[in-house]
């Protein structure tokens, strides 16, 4: 970013765009939930010349104050306790909030912010249940404010390249997608138990990293509507106390009350099949690459982050094209997502990563949990809002 002192404007440049940022009016932001991911929000907002983080709220007494001191959020007012987010929203003159709480608190904080006339940067996953997703969508409609959901890979150069290739139509009719991810030993416990307890997280690997795999392929192909899902979840690693010998927390096995693995077969509109699997821990090195098959070409999105590969025919020849690496962007994906959100706040929307798309992501995740509970394929019901 470069300053233009004469005009009070900043330039935000990339190979994709050159944007002038008007810094004459600052966007006043509050952060709800000052845990781990809030650190990335404050770091990203500090780089935006037209943003002031003026308030911080966390349930846990003293946590917001400590965050303020650690991250030098000068001048911010801190709120704590049960209704910290409401106290903050009511006392401060804010334009927007970042909701950085654990999943189970996403909905209440988001809806309260919308009802107080604020736009919301909501961390992923959108929420836990379909009822919550519908309530968020309704609150947006009633208030005229918007929610943008925090999928920063949307601002990753390689995934922008993927979308461009799909949009070019080179794949023909898309009929099959394989997506997912897997960690060898990656149940997220280094900062405590908020990811592994049902009362805070609601869902495990399925929602935590599964939502990314789903967004990666579905945003590339324009988010077709999911119709049915046959899903499965399990917790073989999370419930095993020996898993936690390193880092030495055997009691986590008793607290573990979400999933560490999920898989599903999803039918989508336009006769598209989605094959999905996700793991926080597994006895395997990789769950494989993401692939999208079309009638004219197929594309491989390697799980190791290497170049995209397109497979097609030229005459009677089977051709494999390694797509040259996309040029690096001058901002991180996380900064890209915050910048797009702030731009939307200033123009009154629309949301850069809208809930009209992400409700389909949530419908799949919640549908997998429900299908697993019922032990059969279920129809996905997404009410019109
Ligand atoms: N985009 C990303 O790269 C990314 C990475 C990690 C986590 N996340 C998401 O961010 C969210 C938070 O994750 P985290 O790792 O920071 O968790 P965390 O447990 O470290 O922090 C969450 C904080 O929210 C606070 N909180 C909960 N309910 C609250 C409420 N009603 N009002 C005020 N504060 C409240 C908790 O006290 C805690 O301090 C999760 O939904 C997670 O999926 C996103």
Instruction: Assess whether the C-beta atom of 179 lies below 6 angstroms from ligand 1.
Output: no
Instruction: Assess whether the C-beta atom of 60 lies below 6 angstroms from ligand 1.
Output: yes
Instruction: Assess whether the C-beta atom of 365 lies below 6 angstroms from ligand 1.
Output: no
User: Does the pLDDT of residue 88 top 90, yes or no?
Assistant: yes
Which CATH number fits the domain that encloses residue 201? 3.30.360.10
Domain shared by 8 and 98, yes or no:
yes
Whether 195 maps to a domain, the answer reads yes
Using a CB cutoff of 8 Å and minimum separation of 24, what contacts does 282-288 make? 282/182, 282/183, 282/184, 282/237, 284/182, 284/184, 285/184, 286/182, 287/180, 287/181, 287/182, 288/178, 288/180
How far is 348 from 246, CA to CA, in rounded Å?
A: 48
| Mean pLDDT for the stretch of residues 317-344 | 95
Whether 385 maps to a domain, the answer reads no
Cβ proximity of 14 and 30 under 8 Å: no
CA 132 to ligand 1 centroid distance, Å: 17
Domain shared by 298 and 310, yes or no:
yes
Domain that holds residue 370: 154-327+362-379
User: Does the pLDDT of residue 14 top 80, yes or no?
Assistant: no
Instruction: Please give the mean pLDDT across all residues of the chain.
Output: 95
Quick: pLDDT tens for 258-316. 999 999 999 999 999 999 999 999 999 999 999 999 999 999 999 999 999 999 999 99
Pocket test for ligand 1, best of 30, 41, 57, 58 (most atoms within 8 A of CB): 58
Burial class (CB in 10 A: 0-12, 13-18, 19+), 138: middle
Q: For the whole model, what pTM was predicted?
A: 0.96
User: Does the pLDDT of residue 89 top 70, yes or no?
Assistant: yes
CA 38 to ligand 1 centroid distance, Å: 7
Pocket test for ligand 1, best of 37, 68, 210, 332 (most atoms within 8 A of CB): 37
How far is 167 from 170, CA to CA, in rounded Å?
A: 8
Rg of the chain (C-alpha set): 21
CA 101 to ligand 1 centroid distance, Å: 3
- Residue 178 has a CB neighbour count (10 Å cut-off) of 20
Which CATH number fits the domain that encloses residue 72? 3.40.50.720
User: Does the pLDDT of residue 5 top 50, yes or no?
Assistant: no
Nearest residue (CA) to ligand 1, atom 6: 37
Q: Which of 377, 355, 378 is nearest to 132 (CA)?
A: 355
- The atom of ligand 1 lying closest to the CA of 63 is 39
Number of structural domains (the chain) is 2
Domain shared by 140 and 188, yes or no:
no
| Mean pLDDT for the stretch of residues 92-117 | 98
- pLDDT of res. 344: 97
Nearest residue (CA) to ligand 1, atom 8: 37
């Amino acid at each position: 970013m470069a300053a233009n002192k004469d005009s009070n404007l900043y330039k935000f440049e990339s190979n994709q765009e050159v944007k002038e940022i008007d810094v004459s009016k600052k966007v006043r932001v509050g952060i709800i939930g000052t845990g781990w991911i809030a650190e990335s929000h404050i770091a990203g907002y500090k780089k935006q010349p037209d943003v002031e983080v003026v308030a911080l709220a966390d349930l846990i007494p003293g946590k917001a104050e400590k965050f303020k001191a650690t991250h030098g959020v000068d001048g911010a007012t801190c709120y704590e306790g049960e209704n910290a987010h409401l106290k903050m929203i009511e006392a401060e003159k804010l334009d927007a909030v970042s909701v950085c709480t654990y999943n189970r608190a996403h909905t209440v904080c988001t809806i309260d912010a919308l009802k107080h006339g604020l736009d919301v940067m909501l961390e992923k996953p959108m929420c836990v249940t379909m009822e919550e997703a519908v309530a968020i969508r309704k609150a947006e409609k009633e208030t005229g404010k918007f929610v943008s959901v925090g999928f920063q890979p949307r601002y990753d150069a390689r995934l922008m390249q993927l979308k461009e290739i799909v949009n070019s139509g080179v794949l023909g009719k898309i009929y099959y997608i394989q997506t997912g991810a897997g960690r060898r030993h990656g149940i997220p416990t280094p900062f405590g138990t908020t990811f592994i307890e049902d009362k805070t997280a609601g869902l495990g690997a399925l929602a935590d990293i599964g939502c990314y795999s789903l967004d990666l392929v579905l945003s590339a192909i324009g988010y077709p509507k999911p119709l049915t899902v046959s899903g499965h979840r399990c917790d073989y690693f999370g419930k095993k106390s020996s898993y936690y010998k390193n880092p030495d927390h055997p009691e986590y096995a008793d607290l573990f009350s979400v999933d560490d693995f999920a898989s599903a077969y999803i039918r989508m509109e336009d006769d598209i099949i989605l094959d999905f699997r996700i793991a926080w821990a597994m006895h395997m090195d990789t769950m494989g690459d993401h692939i999208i098959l079309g009638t004219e070409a197929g594309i491989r999105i390697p799980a190791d982050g290497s170049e995209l590969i397109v497979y097609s025919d030229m005459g009677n020849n089977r051709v494999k094209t390694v797509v040259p690496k996309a040029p690096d962007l001058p901002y991180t994906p996380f900064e890209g997502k915050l910048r797009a959100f702030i731009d939307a706040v200033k123009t009154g929307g629309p949301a850069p990563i809208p809930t009209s798309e992400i409700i389909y992501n949530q419908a799949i995740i919640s549908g997998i949990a429900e299908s697993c509970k019922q032990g059969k394929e279920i129809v996905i019901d997404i009410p019109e809002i």
